[in-house]
Chains A and B, each alone.
Chain A
Amino acid sequence: MNPLILLGIPIGLAFGFALQRGRFCMNSAFRDIIVLKEYALLKAVGLAILIQMVAFAALDMAGVITISPLTFFWGANMLGGFVFGIGMVVAGGCASGITYRFGEGMVGAMSAVLGLILVGLMTTMGAFHPLVVALRGATTVTLADGANLTLANIFGIPHYMLAFGIAGVALIVWAIRSMRGKESPKKEEESVSLGTKIFKKGWGWQATAIVIAIIGILAFIASTAAGRSYGLAICGGYWTTIQSLLLGQNLIGWLSVMLLCTILGSFIAAKIAGEAKLRAPAPKVLIQTFFGGCLMGFGAALGGGCNITHILTGVPQLALSSILNGAFIIFGCWTLAYFWFVRPMQNL
């Protein structure tokens, strides 16, 4: 066992802490644009992606990490992303959302995690595996030299140029928008200590984005040191842990260590804030979240990853697979959220 997998401990603890404090859930981020017209979490996701995009490109140039886009298999990316997106609405949380709420003590999230593990394993190695092999096999596209596709290499643009370019354009658009936008009246700031802001109150979207991005960058470096050239992810951590503990396979690595510590980090954050409590919804809801977790497990195993693997870590690497998969996660999320929440609210 590579002792450097233990670097997953501080990263996981910090990640769990930040997820819980920042309420970082992409299901809420994407769904609530259409359901509640809420944009704070979406901005957090966007900013975290941009910061990592610049940092990954710079670290790749410096030789610290290697940009490692996942394989582009458009059929599996589209179907996997869509099913995952539907699943997270049913489960009431994305992979990071159900993980941090697991740590908080929400039994509905635990039941979703159970579904995600069960059907995820059935898809990576069990009954659904032939479908994965067939669909991926039929729709895989790579460059002529076998390299995985990114927005940069399909156009032959140097990676760093495109990454810095996108971040630069986003920065300019942001600056123009904030100059044009009316000065919003400052809310009266409650005079609270920094300690209270960090440990007791939910974080604002900017702080959440910056902290998550820094953890994502450190995660890529630490994980690379441990022999795994990728950044933050979640689902694979659950699967490898269970495969190792229950199925006798030795797959404990950086990701499984990091994931277990993520749950612990979230518990610690919730405990300090007084938000940790074992609380269960009605049995009907538990069945619903379990079913949602099952869909998420299938989608993530088919499409090559969950929202953290693809949207938080893959999109900043400009991976075409992650951009497509991420778009279909959002599409799946919006499709169900429209029929479940938006339409019924309109019809009141």
Chain B
Amino acid sequence: MAEEIKPDETLDVRGEICPNPDVKTMVKLKKMEKGQILEVLVDYPLSVERIPGNAEKNGHKVLKVERVDGPNHKIYIEAQGGQK
């Protein structure tokens, strides 16, 4: 099923240096409500590899990692919400 994912919020961390893409994504997810979907635009390879694992480790649900072009990726994550 190639269902279109509709994000509630988009975080653009393209061009950001290490580890800001990872940190900003985790901070953003922490602030979102349960079930809301975050779209992360990222072009830093190490973060593309680590954000999904870190998000899962923090209880969020990774819906899709999509390569756009070159190093550009979109990562869709469903927030767990209510984190302390």
Give A contacts to B, CB under 8 Å: 23, 25, 27-28, 31-32, 35-38, 91-93, 97, 104, 106, 108-109, 202, 270, 273-277, 279-282, 285, 288-289, 341, 345, 348
Contacts and interface: CB of A to CB of B under 8 A. Distances in A.
Given A274-B71, A276-B70, A345-B26, A27 B18 contact: yes
A270 B45 CA distance: 10
Given A28-B46, A202-B49, A345-B27, A274 B19 contact: no
B30 interface: yes
A341 B19 CA distance: 9
Interface in B35-83: 43-46, 49-50, 54, 57, 70-72
B46 A279 contact: no
Interface of B: 14-20, 22-23, 26-27, 30-31, 43-46, 49-50, 54, 57, 70-72
Nearest to A23: B46
A286 B58 CA distance: 31
B70 A275 contact: yes
In the complex, the 4 A-B pairs of residues with the closest C-beta atoms, listed nearest first: A92-B17, A281-B15, A23-B46, A275-B71
B70 A277 contact: yes
14 contacts: A25-B46, A28-B19, A28-B46, A32-B22, A37-B57, A38-B54, A109-B17, A270-B71, A274-B70, A274-B71, A279-B43, A285-B16, A288-B17, A345-B23
B11 to A, nearest CB: 15
Contacts of A275: 45, 70-71
A54 to B, nearest CB: 29
B45 A108 contact: no
A348 B49 contact: no
A345 B84 CA distance: 11
Contacts of B18: 25, 27-28, 92-93, 97
